[in-house]
């Protein structure tokens, strides 16, 4: 998932890309942002895409840096929110070691740390560390390995959407699909996305001077995973991980 992927996706973004803001029914992410927001502070929306979170962030902070790898996404965001005057749009790649950002008191990164490449992720984490001030807050949402596997297990056990899952994979295709399972890299719509275990995420954050202070499941309805979820299937629900982490002061 390099820049080209996101640039090409931009015109179709609204139809193709899962909307975390709309599907977070309990509004845990917005609530966390409000808890730690300060009108004297600056926030970076890391991987802001077409700017869905900007109307929430703009009134809560002095300044918002809207950062994305895709300049096409940023153009759309700018055109959608001309009335938000405290936003600076910035094209930049969090997986580039040369990225330089002025550190902010808060970083919000909602499903943008998705790259399947371990090296790119390592730099992404380093840039998260660099772009948030000591004592600042990171609000991070990522796909969950646990939820992904739960969904596959339930699908097979109860034969949900059986016709859609009936394709017999060749050995080569099966290998392609699952070869990076042991690294939490799993396909969403045939595109490899990094998914995280809770403990793994905790460890990666600690390695980058962030102390996780709260983990939450952002729970979704089953119709976000299945075309026809059985009516009895309620809990557990599929989820992404939300973690609130504090940048450690030295």
Ligand X SMILES: C[S@@+](CC[C@H](N)C(=O)[O-])C[C@H]1O[C@@H](n2cnc3c(N)ncnc32)[C@H](O)[C@@H]1O
> Which chain residues interact with ligand X by CB under 6 A?
6, 17, 20, 47-49, 52, 68-70, 73, 93-95, 110-112, 124
CA proximity to 137, closest of 193, 222, 60, 233: 60
Least separation in angstroms between residue 82's CB and ligand X is 19
CA proximity to 187, closest of 141, 195, 224: 195
The nearer residue to ligand X, 20 or 30, going by C-beta atoms, is: 20
Least separation in angstroms between residue 203's CB and ligand X is 21
The nearer residue to ligand X, 128 or 160, going by C-beta atoms, is: 128
The nearer residue to ligand X, 119 or 234, going by C-beta atoms, is: 119
Least separation in angstroms between residue 78's CB and ligand X is 14
Residue 221 phi, psi dihedral angles, 5° rounding: -75, 155
Order of strands across the sheet that contains 104-110: 87-91, 63-68, 42-46, 104-110, 132-143, 239-247, 210-219
The nearer residue to ligand X, 124 or 210, going by C-beta atoms, is: 124
Handedness of CA 106, 14, 197, 190 (dihedral sign): negative
Q: 249: which 2 tokens?
A: 């002061």
**Measured between alpha carbons, how far apart are the two ends of the chain, in Å?**
34
CA proximity to 48, closest of 86, 12, 83, 6: 6
| 87 close to 81: Cβ distance less than 8 angstroms | yes
Least separation in angstroms between residue 66's CB and ligand X is 10
Half-sphere exposure in the Cβ direction for 91 (13 Å, CA) = 11
Least separation in angstroms between residue 46's CB and ligand X is 6
| Closest residue to bound ligand X by CB | 47
Least separation in angstroms between residue 112's CB and ligand X is 3
| 221 close to 141: Cβ distance less than 8 angstroms | no
Q: 139: which 2 tokens?
A: 């609000």
The nearer residue to ligand X, 6 or 160, going by C-beta atoms, is: 6
The nearer residue to ligand X, 67 or 154, going by C-beta atoms, is: 67
């Amino acid at each position: 998932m390099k820049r080209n992927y996101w640039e090409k996706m931009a015109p179709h973004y609204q139809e193709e890309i899962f909307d975390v803001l709309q599907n977070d029914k309990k509004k845990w992410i917005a609530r966390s942002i409000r808890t730690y927001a300060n009108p004297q502070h600056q926030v970076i929306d890391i991987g802001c895409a077409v700017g869905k979170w900007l109307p929430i962030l703009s009134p809560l902070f002095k300044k918002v840096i809207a950062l994305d790898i895709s300049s096409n996404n940023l153009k759309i965001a700018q055109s959608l929110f001309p009335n938000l005057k405290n936003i600076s749009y910035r094209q930049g790649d969090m997986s580039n070691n040369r990225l330089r950002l002025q550190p902010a008191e808060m970083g919000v990164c909602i499903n943008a740390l998705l790259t399947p490449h371990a090296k790119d992720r390592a730099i992404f984490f380093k840039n998260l560390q660099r772009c948030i001030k000591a004592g600042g807050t990171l609000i991070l949402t990522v796909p969950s390995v646990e939820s992904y596997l739960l969904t596959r297990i339930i699908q097979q056990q109860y034969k949900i959407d059986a016709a859609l899952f009936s394709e017999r994979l060749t050995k080569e295709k099966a290998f392609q699909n699952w070869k990076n399972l042991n690294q939490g890299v799993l396909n969403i719509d045939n595109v490899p996305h990094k998914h995280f275990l809770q403990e793994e995420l905790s460890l990666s954050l600690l390695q980058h001077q962030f102390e996780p202070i709260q983990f939450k499941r952002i729970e979704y309805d089953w119709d976000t995973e299945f075309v026809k979820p059985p009516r009895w299937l309620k809990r557990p629900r599929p989820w992404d991980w939300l973690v609130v982490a504090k940048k450690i002061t030295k």
